[in-house]
Amino acid sequence: MRDIGATVDNSLAPLHGAQVTGSTAFAADVTRILTPSWQFVCHESDLPAPGTAMRFDFCGRSALVVRGADSAIGGFVNACRHRGSRLIDGDAATGLAYCIDGRIRCPAHGWIYDSVGALEYVPRENLYPALDRRVLALQRLAVSRVGGWVFVALATDAQLPAAAGGEWLAQCEPGRLQLLRRLAEPRVVSLDCNWRVVCADGLDLPLLGSHAAAVPIEPASLRATLAEEGVATTAQLLGVSTAWSAGGYLRQLAASPVTLSGRWECAFVWPNTWFEITADQWTITQALPLSPGRTQLREVSYGVPDASRRMRVARYLHRRLRRSHVATRVKRLERLQAGLASADVGPGPVASDEIGLAWFTLRLRVESSPG
């Protein structure tokens, strides 16, 4: 990992022009920044038993992660070594799948791999001269498990999540993390915007203090800290709100015995993922790049199982808040993209308190430069 320096130069200009519209810059981002990074796939509870698996697609590549007979979780390129057929489709919404007997079967020609990627069976094997199963095992991908969260690296030179990623995730709520379960199917929203703009927007501290956070937070309480792998922010929830959904949500949490009921925490993990914590749930949001001007926002929430009326109402209202927040954010981001695409737009200044935005801009410059 390259050194981004101990301090952030707040005079750095944010993104503009070809950085967010050009196909050459996007291709460089995919090669130098995105595929060499760790990408969030799921929580360990999504893979509860041997043979359970998940498909994860990112930047034109497809990975599968599977829990083996020894409970270890392995990652592989989601393609058969015979003709390249995709091995696992998974559920259309979640990507989850189940491999019978813990084996991965190719739907095209019936080649069978075990849960550690070894080629076990080849139909008509005697008709393939000098076939060596050992060299035709599935292509392995690196997998990292941090505090119950599962990450996969689609390139071999990825570094372990660290600081605001690895350390923050491992240390935050260690007693609660193993109890988490997925609350609903992931929500995926597509928007006409470059992934860099999406991420920079989520690190704009003054914006977070006004209306960019999904839950109602107190702007004056917002604090941010920098680390090698991300930006961690914390804030207190508002005491009251006149908006119906926000007010109801706050009232439900005010009656909660959970210690974190009044706190909001969020960590942006380089290069494209946010982990948010409130009393009722963890929410993970990823910016998944599709093209220079197209991105998907994938959002999935996890929480400790709780069938009480108070928690059911709180989570329902939280979902309402997030849907409204995402709809507003998509409109804002698409307007940003449209303006940045103009040839008349140049770089603008960065305020001294916009440390997340400046850090992200500097990190992009360092990681995207050749060599």
| Band of residue 172 on the pLDDT scale cut at 50, 70, 90 | confident
**Conformational region of residue 340, where left means phi above 0, alpha means psi within -120 to 50, and beta covers everything else:** alpha
Cα–Cα distance between 225 and 65 in angstroms, integer?
32
pLDDT of residue 260: 46
More confident residue, 157 or 53: 53
* Residues 321/245, Cβ–Cβ less than 8 Å: yes
Give the model's confidence band at 358: pLDDT under 50 very low, under 70 low, under 90 confident, else very high. confident
One-letter amino acid for residue 123 of the chain: P
What's the mean pLDDT in 353-360?
82
If you average pLDDT over residues 5-21, what whole number do you get? 59
For residues 69-89, average pLDDT: 95
- pLDDT at 248 > cutoff 50: yes
Q: Which residues contact 47 (CB under 8 A, 6 or more apart)?
A: 53, 54, 65, 66, 67, 73, 150
Q: Distance between alpha carbon 253 and the CA centroid of its chain, in Å?
A: 26
What percent of the chain has a predicted confidence (pLDDT) above 90? 55
Question: Which has the minimum average pLDDT: 48-52, 208-212, 250-254?
Answer: 208-212
In SS3 terms, the chain reads as CCCCCCCCCCCCCCCCCHHHHCHHHHHHHHHHHHCCCEEEEEEHHHCCCCCEEEEEEECCEEEEEEECCCCCEEEEECCCCCCCCCCCCCCCCCCEEECHHHCEECCCCCCEECCCCCEEECCCHHHCCCCCHHHHCCCEEEEEEECCEEEEECCCCCCCCCCCCHHHHHHCCHHHHCCCEECCCCEEEEECCCHHHHHHHCCCHHHHHHHHCCCCECHHHCEEEEECCEEEEEEEECCCCCCHHHHHHHHHHHCCCCHHHHEEEEEEECCCEEEEECCCCEEEEEEEEEECCEEEEEEEEEECCCCCHHHHHHHHHHHHHHHHHHHHHHHHHHHHHHHHCCCCCCCCCCCCCCHHHHHHHHHHHHHHCCC
Least confident of 220-224, 251-255, 259-263: 259-263
Supply the pLDDT for residue 10.
45
User: Mean pLDDT, to the nearest integer, of 40-64?
Assistant: 96
Which letter does DSSP use for residue 329 in this model? H
pLDDT band at 1; cut points 50, 70, 90: very low
Tokens of 75: 């990652």
| Mean pLDDT across 45-66 | 96
5 pLDDT higher than 50? no
Place of tokens 């993922």: 273
Band the pLDDT of 13: cuts 50, 70, 90: low
Say if CB 61 and CB 35 are below 8 A apart: yes
pLDDT at 359: 85
Strand order across the beta sheet in which 119-121 lies: 104-105, 112-113, 119-121
Residue 315 CB neighbours (<10 A) = 20
Q: Where are the domains of the chain?
A: 1-36+164-371, 38-157
- 7 vs 324: which has the higher pLDDT: 324
pLDDT of residue 83: 95
Whole-model pTM: value is: 0.91
| Arithmetic mean of pLDDT, 113-128 | 95
**According to the CATH classification, is domain 38-157 in 2.102.10.10?**
yes
Q: What is the mean pLDDT of residues 247-275?
A: 82
Q: In this predicted structure, what is the pLDDT of residue 4?
A: 37
For residue 139, what pLDDT is reported?
95
pLDDT at 7: 46
Give the C-alpha separation, 51 to 271, whole Å: 30
Can you tell me which residue has the tokens 């928007």? 191
What percent of the chain is predicted at pLDDT more than 70? 86
CATH code given to domain 1-36+164-371: 3.90.380.10
Confidence tier at 314 by pLDDT (50, 70, 90): very high
The mean per-residue pLDDT over the stretch 182-205 comes to 92
How confident is the model at residue 120, as a pLDDT?
96
